[in-house]
């Protein structure tokens, strides 16, 4: 079992499998994209599989594949097949923009994958297009509907973006009336590849909740997992639920149970800090198992207590883009 230097059990890894993406969300990167790394600098399928085997043997029981867009990786399904055979790995989840997932939905179900988070920042087609800078709304929406029909545990992540999509918050909540899904509203963070700098936000979790209250006075708080980053609510009579993730305000650090590994093998022990170590060379060297284990234990033994502490130590962290970190 992995325990950090603040006595927090670490059992969850967010693994980015690529830094590439077929969308260009305004909050994530500039229109022209970022400097995507050369393919040889990305962990290979074999390296990702070996890394996950080692992590699971160390006590990680939940792995979320993210990116970039995980489905732009041609060998993603092979990785998922490999991971589905790992004993001890209780939960394989995916965070995706749902543009390319369609052909794989049946196999994902067969592999026992249940939790799919989809980034959807609008139910209005034009707003979606303006935010993602691509015209993919119909395919994304149809894929979300298929995932729901097939019984996946679907969570929609929607970032509240001042001047772009806040008129979409109430319509997004309406989806939870008919469907047993979760909609999570995130505060925007300045991880956008340096395309936009800001030090404060208007649409923080309190402001989002006030806005929701203007229409739904009767929503009530529901129980969430202790390690959840969201605070969750339900509207009486609605099938699904909604929640807010204070990603800018950072009120959730105390129970943080996660470790991030980027597509280039960077170990990131806090979203608001810089990578503390890189695994690529270790993965390509000798004594891989022993050296990776040691690197993970060292990284976990030196975690910042909170996101504010991590940010203080590593100024300039916000120059980065979420497509390299994995969200
Ligand atoms: N491409 C996939 C997707 O969009 O779901 C996975 C990668 S994406 C980088 C992972 C998560 O990061 C998404 O839920 C996205 O909304 C979130 N994200 C990206 N940039 C963000 C920002 N500036 N502030 C808050 N969340 C952000
Ligand atoms: Fe791509 Fe996801 Fe970033 Fe949007 S948030 S540009 S879908 S990686």
| Tens digits of pLDDT across the chain (327 residues) | 999 999 999 999 999 999 999 999 999 999 999 989 999 999 999 999 999 999 999 999 999 999 999 999 999 999 999 999 999 999 999 999 999 999 999 999 999 999 999 999 999 999 999 999 999 999 999 999 999 999 999 999 999 999 999 999 999 999 999 999 999 999 999 988 888 888 899 999 999 999 999 999 999 999 999 899 999 999 999 999 999 999 998 888 889 999 999 999 999 999 989 899 999 999 999 999 999 999 999 999 999 999 988 888 877 677 788 988 888
Cβ neighbours around 95 below 10 Å, total = 22
CB contact at 8 A, 160 and 184: no
Cβ neighbours around 254 below 10 Å, total = 11
89 Cβ below 6 A of ligand 2 = no
Beta carbons within 8 Å of 86's beta carbon, 6+ residues apart = 52, 53, 56
Q: The pTM is what? A: 0.96
Which residue reads 């100024």 in tokens? 315
196 Cα to the center of ligand 1, angstroms: 15
Structure tokens given for 88: 């001890």
Q: Residue whose CA is closest, atom 11 of ligand 1?
A: 327
61 Cα to the center of ligand 2, angstroms: 26
Cα separation, 233 vs 203, in Å, equals 18
Determine the atom of ligand 2 nearest the C-alpha atom of 97. Answer: 7
186 Cβ below 6 A of ligand 1 = yes
Cβ neighbours around 196 below 10 Å, total = 11
136 Cβ below 6 A of ligand 2 = no
21 Cα to the center of ligand 2, angstroms: 6
Among all ligands shown, which has an atom nearest to the Cα of 191? 1
106 Cα to the center of ligand 2, angstroms: 24
């Amino acid at each position: 079992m992995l325990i950090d230097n603040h006595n927090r059990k670490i059992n969850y890894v967010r693994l980015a499998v690529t830094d590439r993406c077929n969308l260009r969300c305004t909050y994530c990167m500039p229109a022209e994209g970022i400097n995507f790394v050369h393919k040889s600098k990305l962990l290979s399928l074999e390296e990702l599989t070996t890394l996950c085997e080692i992590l699971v043997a160390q006590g990680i029981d939940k792995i979320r594949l993210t990116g970039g867009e995980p489905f732009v990786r041609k060998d993603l399904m092979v990785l998922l097949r490999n991971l589905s055979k790992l004993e001890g790995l209780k939960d394989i989840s995916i965070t995706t923009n749902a543009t390319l997932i369609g052909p794989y939905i049946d196999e994902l179900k067969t592999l026992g994958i249940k939790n799919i988070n989809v980034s959807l920042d609008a139910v209005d087609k034009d707003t979606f297009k303006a935010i993602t800078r691509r015209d993919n709304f119909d395919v994304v929406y149809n894929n979300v509907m298929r995932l729901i029909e097939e019984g996946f545990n679907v969570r929609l992540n929607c970032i509240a973006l001042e001047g772009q999509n806040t008129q979409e918050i109430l319509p997004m909540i309406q989806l939870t009336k008919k469907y047993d899904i979760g909609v999570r509203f995130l505060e925007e963070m300045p991880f956008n590849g340096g395309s936009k700098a800001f030090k404060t936000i208007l649409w923080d979790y309190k402001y989002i909740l006030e806005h929701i209250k203007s229409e739904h006075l009767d929503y009530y708080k529901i129980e969430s997992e202790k390690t959840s980053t969201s605070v969750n609510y339900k509207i009486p009579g609605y099938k699904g639920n909604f929640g807010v993730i204070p990603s800018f305000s950072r009120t959730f650090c105390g129970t943080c149970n996660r470790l991030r590994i980027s597509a280039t093998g960077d170990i990131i022990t806090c979203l608001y800090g810089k990578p503390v170590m890189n695994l690529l060379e270790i993965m390509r060297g000798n004594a891989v198992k022993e050296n990776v284990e040691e690197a993970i234990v060292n990284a976990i033994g030196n975690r910042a207590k909170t996101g504010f502490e991590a940010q203080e130590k590593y100024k300039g962290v916000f120059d980065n883009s979420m497509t390299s970190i994995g969200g």
